[in-house]
């Protein structure tokens, strides 16, 4: 009987140990649907679903919060949250990144339908008022141009909530003439709001397709562990049909199989 009791005690201790090791992981960003959408909804975004799929298997709980992008970056730097969703390595240079991406991103120029402006080079940018989102990374060329034009009427940045919709409204009202956005995000939003015919594509903001990640706080020791778990998990779900299933829910295809 004593042996049985000792075995039961060991089982209980192991269970308690696993509970202790299970963490609540807070990730945040501004709305960037279909990558990350409304929290606590049936479709919180495919990157959020990927994170839940990977981390919950290890006993961790994912909490996704919606907040302005600049605040999300700062809160992660301060260790108030664990990570940010949809980051590239240029806009979060000191963060801890998994070894493989959670999505890809093509950045396009958008203009009001009927506009004749097309992007050719940096000189063509000087012909228009460009509306961007504060602390977003748009690629080396655009980011360099923005730095030289900060404080001038030619580059206008906004922050806070609903930045995508606000930039669309500014474009339609003529307050800006061009904006840059991820093509999947813009097309998803325009389709949802039935305004696809209101805007047109005016060129690529960068020639190459960029990778996006859940990037983890540079000031939390556990970030390296989380990045490793996410990397291993991405490899696993990419080789199964789970990533396909998640992507299909948002009308997207699995980029890792292209």
Same domain, 100 and 217: yes
Residue pointed to by tokens 């009987």:
1
Alpha-carbon dihedral sign for residues 50, 253, 88, 130: negative
Kindly compute the dihedral angle of the four CA atoms of residues 184, 189, 192, 198, in this order, to the nearest 10 degrees: -110
Same domain, 55 and 71: yes
Same domain, 137 and 79: no
Same domain, 116 and 97: no
- The answer to whether residue 9 is domain-embedded is no
What global pTM score does this model have?
A: 0.85
- The answer to whether residue 1 is domain-embedded is no
Same domain, 79 and 100: yes
Same domain, 46 and 112: no
The CATH number of the domain holding residue 85 is 3.40.190.10
The DSSP call for residue 43 is -
Q: What is the pLDDT along the chain (258 residues), one digit of tens a residue?
A: 455 545 445 444 444 333 335 699 999 999 999 999 999 999 999 999 999 999 999 999 999 999 999 999 999 999 999 999 999 998 999 999 999 999 999 999 999 999 999 999 889 999 999 999 999 999 888 999 999 987 788 999 999 989 999 999 999 999 999 999 999 999 999 999 999 999 999 999 988 889 999 999 999 999 999 999 999 999 999 888 999 999 999 999 888 876
- The answer to whether residue 11 is domain-embedded is no
Q: What range defines the domain where residue 83 resides?
A: 22-104+210-257
Cα(238)–Cα(221) distance, integer angstroms? 27
Cα(88)–Cα(152) distance, integer angstroms? 26
């Amino acid at each position: 009987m004593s042996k049985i009791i000792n075995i039961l005690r060991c089982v209980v201790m192991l269970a308690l140990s696993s509970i202790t090791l299970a963490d609540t992981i807070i990730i945040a960003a501004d709305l960037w649907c279909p990558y990350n959408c409304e929290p606590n909804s049936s479709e919180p975004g495919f990157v959020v679903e990927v994170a839940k799929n990977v981390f919950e298997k290890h006993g961790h709980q994912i909490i996704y919060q919606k907040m302005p992008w600049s605040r999300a970056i700062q809160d992660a730097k301060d260790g108030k949250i664990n990570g940010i969703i949809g980051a590239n390595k240029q806009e979060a240079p000191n963060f801890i990144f998994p070894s493989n991406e959670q999505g890809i991103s093509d950045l396009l120029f958008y203009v009001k339908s009927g506009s004749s402006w097309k992007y050719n080079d940096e000189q063509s940018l000087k012909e228009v008022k460009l509306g961007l989102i504060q602390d977003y990374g748009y690629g080396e060329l655009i980011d360099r141009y923005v730095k030289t034009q900060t404080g001038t009427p030619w580059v206008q940045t906004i922050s806070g909530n609903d930045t995508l919709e606000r930039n669309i409204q500014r474009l339609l009202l003529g307050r800006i003439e061009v904006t840059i956005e991820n093509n999947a995000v813009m097309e998803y939003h325009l389709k949802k709001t039935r305004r696809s015919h209101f805007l047109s594509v005016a060129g690529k903001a960068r020639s190459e397709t960029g990778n996006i990640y859940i990037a983890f706080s540079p000031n939390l020791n556990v970030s390296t562990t989380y990045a490793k778990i996410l990397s291993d998990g991405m490899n696993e779900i990419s080789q199964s049909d789970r990533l396909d299933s998640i992507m299909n829910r948002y009308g997207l295809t699995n980029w890792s199989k292209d």
